[in-house]
């Protein structure tokens, strides 16, 4: 049975991918996560699972990574580990540089040394898949889409650090021959997402009848990708993608932030006990995020035409499944809000 190394596998997207890989039944998952604030062991299979090995550790620890690669004869590295919240990058950019830039460099260096000692079919099969974001491309106007050839123009400390890591991954392929691939995805949503992000934060506030903050006038546009669809795309890239290539992954679901919040209100009204007034009346417009990009939208033609992947989940269906999950998992939410995050506003750049 082949082994894969998943970095950041106790986070939202990484944890979703770990569950996806375990469900496939044909791999052993080595899950490396530092368990910083967004890492959550409640989101992944038990460490006692016969095909899941959890290791608490930092991707910047090259000796640890090298030992895991060698011990488990890893065939593919799926690199999710990252600091990923724009607001937190405004409050504390140093952690983003350390994890997303320095950590990625260390992971690449350890992977290259491991790759160089492989031979035969083991060498031919090895892949390094770097999972990134559409935010590296900057901001769009009212029209247009991000393609794989769109010039990079990051605007936040988060997106700048991810852009840096993308460049490092490509350099390690072109300079050293490491068989890498890069994916750039649009905004993910789904079960198990840490409640600092828009959809879970608004969902939990709407359930509780609390105010629903919307940045600025709510006109900022994002393309929303259901996390299970993203995991399927990543598996397709790992299995059949071309070495050295980049693949954009989008959900074909452009929505303004205001329309997202309004849809959440409507679904929560349908699924929960009614309040004295419709939950849309809880919406409050608040001071915008510094440097808030206006619009992101993905052109996913390449992955669709080359690899036959398509997003399978429309936005309302995915949102309903997500909200139902949060309604059914009070314990998961409670453990986070008792310790790591209580719903406070971040990223005010004081």
Read off the CATH number of the domain in which 132 is found. 3.40.50.720
* Per-residue model confidence (pLDDT) at position 345: 47
Answer yes or no: is 218 within a domain.
no
Provide the residue range defining the domain that includes 117.
2-191+225-251+296-313
Answer yes or no: is 78 within a domain.
yes
> How large is the angle between the packed helices 104-116 and 157-176, nearest 10 degrees?
20
* Per-residue model confidence (pLDDT) at position 342: 54
Q: In what order do the strands lie in the sheet with 254-256?
A: 187-189, 221-226, 254-256
Residues with catalytic annotation?
A: 134-135, 158
Residue written as token pair 């209100």 = 265
Answer yes or no: is 113 within a domain.
yes
Element (H, E) at 304: helix 301-307
Q: Mapping DSSP to helix (H, G, I), strand (E, B) and coil, where does residue 108 land?
A: helix
pTM (two decimals): 0.94
| 120-134 burial: b if 16+ Cβ within 10 Å, else e | eeeeeebbbbbbbbb
Backbone angles phi, psi at 342, to 5 degrees: -110, 15
Answer yes or no: is 197 within a domain.
no
Domain count, the chain: 1
**How many CB atoms sit inside 10 A of residue 66's CB?**
16
Which segments of the chain have a pLDDT < 70? 338-350
Compute CA distances 6 → 22, 63, 75, whole Å.
12, 16, 11
Answer yes or no: is 205 within a domain.
no
Using the 8-state DSSP alphabet, how is residue 191 labeled?
T
Q: Mapping DSSP to helix (H, G, I), strand (E, B) and coil, where does residue 29 land?
A: strand
Answer yes or no: is 284 within a domain.
no
Answer yes or no: is 111 within a domain.
yes
Answer yes or no: is 67 within a domain.
yes
Using the 8-state DSSP alphabet, how is residue 215 labeled?
E
């Amino acid at each position: 049975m082949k082994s894969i190394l998943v970095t950041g596998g106790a986070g939202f997207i990484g944890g979703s991918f770990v569950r996806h890989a375990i469900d496939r039944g044909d791999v052993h998952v080595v899950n490396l996560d530092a368990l910083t604030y967004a890492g959550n062991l409640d989101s992944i299979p038990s460490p006692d699972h016969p095909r899941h090995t959890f290791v608490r550790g930092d991707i910047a620890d090259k000796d640890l990574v090298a030992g895991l690669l060698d011990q488990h004869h890893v065939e593919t590295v799926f690199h999710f580990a990252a600091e990923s919240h724009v607001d937190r990058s405004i409050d504390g950019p140093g952690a983003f540089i350390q994890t997303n830039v320095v950590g990625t460099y260390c992971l690449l260096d350890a992977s290259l040394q491991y790759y160089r000692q492989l031979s035969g079919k083991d060498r031919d099969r090895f892949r390094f898949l770097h999972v990134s974001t559409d935010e590296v491309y900057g901001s769009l106007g009212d029209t247009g889409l991000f393609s794989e050839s769109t010039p990079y123009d990051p605007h936040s400390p988060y997106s700048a650090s991810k852009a840096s890591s993308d460049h490092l991954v490509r350099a390690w392929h072109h300079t050293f021959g490491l068989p890498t691939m890069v994916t750039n995805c649009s905004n993910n949503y789904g079960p198990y997402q840490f409640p600092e992000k828009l959809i879970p934060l608004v969902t939990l506030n709407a359930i509780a009848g609390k105010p629903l903050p919307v940045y600025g006038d709510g006109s900022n546009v994002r393309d929303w990708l259901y996390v299970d669809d993203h995991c399927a795309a990543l598996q397709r890239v790992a299995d059949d993608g071309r070495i050295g290539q980049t693949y954009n992954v989008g959900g074909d679901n452009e929505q303004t932030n205001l329309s997202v919040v309004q849809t959440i209100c409507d679904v929560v009204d349908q699924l929960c006990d009614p309040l004295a007034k419709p939950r849309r009346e809880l919406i409050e417009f608040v001071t915008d995020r510094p440097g808030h990009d206006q619009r992101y939208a993905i052109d996913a033609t390449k992955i669709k035409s080359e690899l036959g992947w398509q997003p399978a989940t429309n936005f309302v269906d995915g949102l309903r499944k997500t909200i139902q999950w949060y309604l059914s998992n009070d314990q998961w939410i409670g453990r986070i809000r008792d310790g790591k995050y209580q719903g406070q506003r971040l990223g005010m750049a004081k």
